[in-house]
Structure 1
Amino acid sequence: MIDELDLAFDEHAERGRPRHRRGGRGGKKSSGKSGVAFLMAFVLLAVLGGGVFFGYNKVKGFFTAADYDGPGTGTVQVTIEKNATLTDIGNTLVDADVVKSTKAFVNAANENPRGKNIQSGTYNMRKQMSAKNAVDMLLDPKNRVTAGITIPEGKTAKQTYELLAKATNIPVKDFETAAKNPEDLGVPGFWFNRRDDQQARKSVEGFLFPDTYEFDPKLTAKQILQVMVKRFVTVATELGFVDGVQNNLSVSPFEGLIVASLSQAEAGVPKDLPKVARVAYNRAYKANMPLEFDVTANYWLDLNGKSAKHSGELTAQELDDPKNPYNTKSKRGLPAGPINSPGKSALEAAMKPASGNYVYFVAIDRDGNSAFTEDYGQHQKNIQTACKNGVPLC
């Protein structure tokens, strides 16, 4: 269009028409051409202005996050995973058509003073709601469908099923059925190998990692146990547990897991975990002595529906039951398998036990502190100290 304007003015000059504002015979004709030129210039400016306006709107749209308006409609459940970032949460909400864009959600969360306090769990939300309303709903505990369930360290699989059943309303029997084949739950098969020539008792015991979980209410018993097993595998991998026990202690990961569970059950305070692990390894592999851990007798009682007892209350038959595959009173070596779910500290202790020739230990006070020694005479003195301090074992 600029070329057309140039031609219009060039033609005017070539014909020798003076470019003046008034007078002359050609004034009317010149005025007409000038009017055409003015109109064309106006159109050009309009087009250019429209382009600028259109471009501005496109750029503005590029920098403005797409968002829905209002409180939304209907109901939809979304699950926020543990340790999810705001971007992760936004992606989850977009997938469920709760918000229109992840960017709009992240912006709204950052603008809210409590926006980074969104907890994991399952929430009742609405579809196609504004990002601001979505943030507000996630921060309102009334919209949270599930609460966290904590599985403490040292719980047996049986005790874990009972806790899970209470929290999820799924029958204990469903968990027991789901746990029959631990490899179906994600336990790698190599975990059931042993180097001590003993038969591994295949069970999910020891692999249900103790932690706080947020379970989607739609999960089955099997899926819940799979989540817990996956958590165990993740933690063991992060610790380097498998290579650690194999390369540094010359035992299989399964044997290391057994020691971790024994330490978890026997140590009264966390600082004693590595020393209890050392006693277990020394007795099982160096001193060729039975472990004589009372906790294995109690584990067998629990499996058979009986209550655990203090050490001094266990009968000789309970301590040395020949039918008990976890008997450590007269049988040498480690028991058939783990006796509970050890936590991270217990796994670390089994991977890096304390140094020393300890083969004896006893809890010497009501706080759970233990005394460790390699000398039997000193061990007897430690037992007397425990009795004086009111520890129920005498």
Structure 2
Amino acid sequence: MIGEMEELKYEDNPDPGRWRHRKKEGAGRSVLALVMVLALFGVLGGGAWFAYDRYGGAFFAADYDGPGTGEVIVKVEKDQFAPAIGKTLESAGVVKSAQAFVNAAKDNPDSQNIQVGSYKLKKEMKASDALLMLLDRKNLAVEGVTIPEGWTKMQVFAALSKESGIPVKEFEAAAKDISKLGVPAAWLVRKDGKTVDKANIEGFLYPATYEIPEKATAADILKMMIKNFNAEMTKLNFAAGAAKLNISPYEALVAASIAQVEALLPEDMGPVARVLYNRAYSGDFPCNCLQLDSTVNYWLRLNGKEGKSSEKLTIDEMHSEDNPYRYNAPGMTIGPISNPGEYALKGAITAPKSPYFFFVTVDKKGRTAYGKTYAEHQANIKVACKNGIPICNN
């Protein structure tokens, strides 16, 4: 957890909250010493420059010239002063010398505002640049719980519980009304006549890394995640994209959640979403239903069961009227089946037009093939079989 702000203090500073400059007499002696050193360099020639580069800390604080390269995580601990931070940076290869960082901190009055935490920095940086990066909160490396794309709400609740110590049941209780957690009213309606379940938070738990605040409740954490979801939807202009498809944002979210599970590659998210739209809305597909194992398996998981491969699903599991996610349920599924990430969400609102009603993964690289007719689909399945895809092991 990122702690409260800590003042930088210096070993030779009587007032740790503020750096006091040296007296003029000391400054004069420093200039005289510099002149003597430069005169010595003139006598020794090029070898002195080598000595300076190697032992420069004896006269000046060795420092890098460049902006740095690569990335390294450096942690600023509580009660660390400038020299200690400098040593940490030097050990990590960020600055050339701890003293260069101390000098940069003395020259920058904002240095006392560095926060405790882990920072993403670069290697071989000029000390003053490293200081500026430490002062920029954008470089704080978040330490928290990471929610991967495609996780269900059950998986998210379990991860949040492990990180926070809050029981899963409290997250379930807090999620009973998503409108109270910050989900906008525009997301609680559909254009296809179906009702949005306000007790279903699935799809709104945007995949990202979240830092859990101290003393946060389950509701606090879920509100934080939905706030992030809303921000990401604004960036994507998601509602406007859904409107162009003549569907509600919620229906597009459902499609994205399915595409996230069904498509293995980013480039297939959009085309798979289009297949879903063609099946559910075009009127040209028998039953106008999705006929997907993934929705059936989601229902099994909701009921505490394990998902199954296609050949192991029973007729009752696939077609039971008690299952709202059943194989032949008409139209778009009643709710999301996962929490989709950026690629799936973008794919759902930019799904390219196509005549396809079928799709199948055809190789071990995860590529998807599409078909307009069942015969074309069967031909694609044969290709998948030749490539060793498990769909053919029945």
* TM-score, structure 2 as length reference: 0.65
2:175 corresponds to 1:176? no
* 1:178-211 deviation line (CA, Å, top 9, x unaligned): 1111111111122110111122222111001000
Pairwise CA RMSD of aligned residues? Answer: 3.4
Structure 2 CA distance, aligned partners of 1:223 and 1:120? 29
Give the equivalent residue in structure 2 for 1:266.
262
Q: Find the structure with the greater CA-based Rg.
A: 1
8 A contact 2:363–2:389 mirrored in 1: yes
2:316 corresponds to 1:317? yes
Give the equivalent residue in structure 1 for 2:151.
155
* Correspondence for 2:222 among 225, 229, 235: 225
Structure 2 SS opposite 1:195: coil
Q: Shift of residue 217 of structure 1?
A: 2.6
Give the equivalent residue in structure 2 for 1:351.
349
Structure 1 SS opposite 2:3: strand
Q: Shift of residue 364 of structure 1?
A: 1.4
Give the equivalent residue in structure 1 for 2:272.
276
Give the equivalent residue in structure 2 for 1:293.
292
Give the equivalent residue in structure 2 for 1:371.
369
Q: Shift of residue 229 of structure 1?
A: 0.5
Structure 2 SS opposite 1:342: coil
Structure 1 CA distance, aligned partners of 2:72 and 2:363? 43
Q: Which amino acid aligns with 2:376?
A: Q
8 A contact 2:146–2:209 mirrored in 1: yes
Q: Shift of residue 136 of structure 1?
A: 8.6
8 A contact 1:261–1:339 mirrored in 2: yes
Structure 1 CA distance, aligned partners of 2:290 and 2:116? 55
* Correspondence for 1:205 among 192, 202, 207: 202
| Superposition map of 1:241-260 within 5 A | 241-246=238-243, 248-260=244-256
* Correspondence for 1:388 among 375, 386, 389: 386
Structure 2 CA distance, aligned partners of 1:209 and 1:136? 27
* Correspondence for 2:3 among 66, 74, 77: 77
Structure 2 CA distance, aligned partners of 1:380 and 1:316? 21
* Correspondence for 1:332 among 324, 330, 333: 330
* 1:339-390 deviation line (CA, Å, top 9, x unaligned): 1111111111010002211101111123322110112211111112222322
Give the equivalent residue in structure 1 for 2:91.
none
* 1:94-150 deviation line (CA, Å, top 9, x unaligned): 9xxxx969xxxxxxxxxxx99xx89899x8745999975764954599xx9983321
Structure 2 SS opposite 1:393: helix
* 1:142-185 deviation line (CA, Å, top 9, x unaligned): xx998332100011111100111112222111111111111111
Structure 2 CA distance, aligned partners of 1:305 and 1:182? 22
Q: Which amino acid aligns with 2:250?
A: F
8 A contact 1:274–1:352 mirrored in 2: yes
* 1:235-268 deviation line (CA, Å, top 9, x unaligned): 101111111111x100011111111111111102
Q: Which amino acid aligns with 1:235?
A: E
Structure 1 CA distance, aligned partners of 2:141 and 2:275? 46
Distance 1:164 1:359, change over 3 A: same
Q: Which amino acid aligns with 2:185?
A: G
Identity %: 40
Structure 2 CA distance, aligned partners of 1:265 and 1:177? 26
Distance 1:265 1:120, change over 3 A: farther
Structure 2 CA distance, aligned partners of 1:120 and 1:347? 34
8 A contact 1:146–1:217 mirrored in 2: no
Structure 2 CA distance, aligned partners of 1:388 and 1:177? 48
Q: Shift of residue 218 of structure 1?
A: 2.2
Gaps of 5+ in 1: 1-75, 79-91, 102-112
2:162 corresponds to 1:195? no
Structure 2 SS opposite 1:361: strand
Give the equivalent residue in structure 1 for 2:28.
none
Structure 2 CA distance, aligned partners of 1:388 and 1:223? 51
8 A contact 1:100–1:128 mirrored in 2: no
Structure 1 CA distance, aligned partners of 2:209 and 2:254? 23
* 1:245-304 deviation line (CA, Å, top 9, x unaligned): 11x100011111111111111102111101100000111110242111111011001100
Structure 2 CA distance, aligned partners of 1:264 and 1:391? 19
8 A contact 2:258–2:294 mirrored in 1: yes
